[in-house]
Amino acid sequence: MPLSPRHGLARLGLLAILGLTTVPALAQQQGGPPPAVGVTPATLRAVTETNEFIGRIQAVDRVDLQSRVTAFLEERLFSEGAEVKQGDVLFRLERPPFQAQLEVARAGVAEAQAQLQNANLTLGRAQSLLSTPAGQRSTVDNATAAARTAQAQLLSAQAQERQAQINLDYTEIRAPVSGRIGRASVTPGNVVTPSSGALATIVSQDPMYATFTVPVRTLLDLRQRYADRGGLDSADIRVRLPDGSIYEHAGKLNFFDVEVSQDTDSITLRGSMPNPPLPPERGGGRGLTAGMLVNVQLASAEPVQLLTIPRAALLTDQRGDFVYVIGAENKVERRAVRTGPQSTPLFASIAEGLKEGEQVVVDGLQRVRPGAVVSPAPVEAPGGSAGGSAPAGAAPRQGN
């Protein structure tokens, strides 16, 4: 029965595929030279183990500035968005009413002191007359009570003076912490009260927190891996900025949350890192800003030795990851492998399936098949090291 055009094209395509897949075998059967391939050895490399998690930058201190008294706002003494130092005067309120209250309180103290002095003199005279026929016990008792009352009135007047001084001091709103101050919510000329809300907000700048969540299963694995290296407290914290660059200053973990989130089965960790001013040639400012979305890298302080191969040598099919290894008499062997966590775009770490020094095919993979004899030639590994974003060369593993 004649074939339809569609069946004919399918048959031709199948023959073409079979022809391509049997090229190495036909070449060897016909006495041709073995196909040339590039190989490189599986190599132990010093790699900094790194796990990466999504996190945010948070300020150590965040303070809302509020008025403690009711008064007119006279001056704003800062530039919005600028950095301020602890103790700087930021707002000045109307002072004369509070100055007058302080003077009234001081006058009350002077009056109470005079009354106490007079009461003490009266008590002294009554006590001196008690030993004479003119003296009476009741007179001494009354004088004693009057002196004590005058003493209490003096204490009350002094307290009112202190309160008046405090209220006067409240007319200058100062920075309780150093940091960067945001936009003012009230302009001069308005009346502010303790219920007016935040007049402005200060966020501290140095150091900064990097807060991130880690799945509990991952955390347990990390604790086991770092157990013989001083624990997780010894790990460095690094931050990958939104532009992909690595922030230059490392930090350390300083907080583990006390509860696991029941919604995500994860726990919150926090690290602290310096955030010094950038030099003018780099635009000034600081590298980290509160609220910034970043990737937080948890890296081992000391590199570990991992077996690595070029990423180009790692292949994957339905059965999993594998590589082509050059065996005895230059025959190709298909070898199943299990990759480790610290892999990069250039290199893959191998946990099982290979030994150090075994030659893997990295170039000419389309010309090899299991059992074929090839002509291997050394190929230099890309980059010369397992270099990634981490200091010793390991790229991060995504943790969540």
pTM (whole model) above 0.75: no
Choose among 351, 304, 233: nearest CA to 50. Answer: 304
Residue 391 has pLDDT above 50, yes or no: no
Given this model, what pLDDT does residue 135 score? 61
CATH value of 96-169 in 2.40.50, 1.10.3470, 3.40.50, 1.10.287: 1.10.287
Provide the mean pLDDT of the chain. Answer: 84
Q: What is the pLDDT of residues 150-190, one digit of tens each?
A: 999 999 999 999 999 999 999 999 999 999 999 999 999 99
Q: How far apart are CA 249 and CA 274, in angstroms?
A: 6
Q: Quote the tokens at residue 387.
A: 């270099």
Q: Is 200 exposed, middle or buried (0-12, 13-18, 19+ CB in 10 A)?
A: buried
Residue 19 has pLDDT above 80, yes or no: no
Q: Is 72 exposed, middle or buried (0-12, 13-18, 19+ CB in 10 A)?
A: middle
34-48+304-398 shares its CATH topology with 96-169:
no
CB atoms within 10 A of CB 6: 8
Place of tokens 């191998």: 350
Task: Specify the CATH class of 34-48+304-398 in words.
Answer: mainly beta
Q: Distance from CA of residue 180 to its chain's centroid?
A: 18
Percentage with pLDDT > 70 across the chain: 84
Q: Pick the residue with more confidence: 361 or 142? A: 361
Q: Quote the tokens at residue 239.
A: 């931050």
Any bridge partners for residue 352, and if so which? 338
| Contact assessment for residue 55 and residue 210, using Cβ atoms and an 8 Å cutoff | yes
Given this model, what pLDDT does residue 288 score? 94
Choose among 51, 45, 46: nearest CA to 237. Answer: 51
Domain ranges of the chain: 34-48+304-398, 51-60+205-299, 65-92+171-203, 96-169
Kindly provide the b/e burial profile for residues 243-271, where b requires at least 16 CB atoms within 10 angstroms of the residue's own CB. eeebbebbbebeeeeeeeeeeeebbbbbb
Indicate the SS3 state at residue 371: coil
Choose among 61, 66, 58, 59: nearest CA to 200. Answer: 66
Instruction: Return the CATH number of the domain spanning residue range 51-60+205-299.
Output: 2.40.30.170
| Contact assessment for residue 267 and residue 213, using Cβ atoms and an 8 Å cutoff | yes
The end-to-end CA distance of the chain, in Å, is: 60
Given this model, what pLDDT does residue 133 score? 67
Q: Quote the tokens at residue 97.
A: 């009413």
Given this model, what pLDDT does residue 7 score? 45
Task: Specify the CATH class of 65-92+171-203 in words.
Answer: mainly beta
